[in-house]
Amino acid sequence: MLAAAILALVLALQTPAPENVLVTITVAGDEHFTLPHVIEISPAGTGGEVWVAVRTWEGGTRTLTSVQCPAIADAVRAFADLPAVPVDSPVLAVADGNGWPIGPILLHGFETTLSFQTTTDDGSVARVQLSGGNSYRRWGHRTVADLIGCWGPLTP
């Protein structure tokens, strides 16, 4: 009974409220490399020294701290360095007669969708969901790949 209560307490401490999640990575399934899954990265407390990553897939859940897996803290630091996302629709470029913009090619990699909160210029909080975008897509791929070194792959 006591063990169950302690376990519940630990899980409660490690399961952050949604507003405390730094970033949620939704990883698309791939027939060869991975089952679809979600990774949430959150601070373990208020000090910002320890981070928790939770991986959830149809078959279960796995939790790691940045103490167990330093790649989590590396990913958080790299996330902080991502560039701002300007609102600049390709459709507007076409409408202006500039043609469809040509972007770089990113072959393969984990396909991720990132969800996170950001503060706008007026100080209000906005929720962002972002797919593609080279810097963000590379960060998503890199984070998924680096964390596999800690908790292993989710190969189908």
The one among 39, 69, 76, 141 contacting another protein by CB under 8 A: 141
Between CA 7 and CA 17, with CA 11 as vertex, the angle to 5 degrees is 155
Least distance between another protein and beta carbon 34 (Å): 7
| d(C-alpha 121, C-alpha 61), whole Å | 37
Integer distance in angstroms from the first to the last C-alpha of the chain? 36
Collapse the DSSP code of 147 into the 3-class scheme (helix H, G, I; strand E, B; otherwise coil) and give the result: helix
Q: How far apart are CA 41 and CA 92, in angstroms?
A: 35
Find the shortest distance in angstroms from Cβ 37 to another protein.
12
Kindly state the smallest distance separating residue 31's Cβ from another protein, in Å: 6
* Contact of 100 with 84, CB cutoff 8 Å: no
Q: Which of 22, 25, 34, 53 binds another protein (CB under 8 A)?
A: 34
The only residue of 9, 28, 92, 94 in contact with another protein, by rule CB under 8 A: 28
**CB of 41 or CB of 147, closer to another protein:** 147
Q: Which stretch binds another protein (CB under 8 A): 15-23, 33-41, 53-61, 83-91?
A: 33-41
Contact pattern for another protein over residues 74 through 113, marking x by CB under 8 A: -------------------------xx-xxxxxxxxxx-x
- Look-up: residue for tokens 């791939």? 30
CA geometry: angle 101, 140, 22, nearest 5 deg: 115
Which spans of this chain sit near another protein (rule: CB under 8 A)?
28-34, 36, 99-100, 102-111, 113, 131-132, 134, 138, 141, 145, 148, 152-155
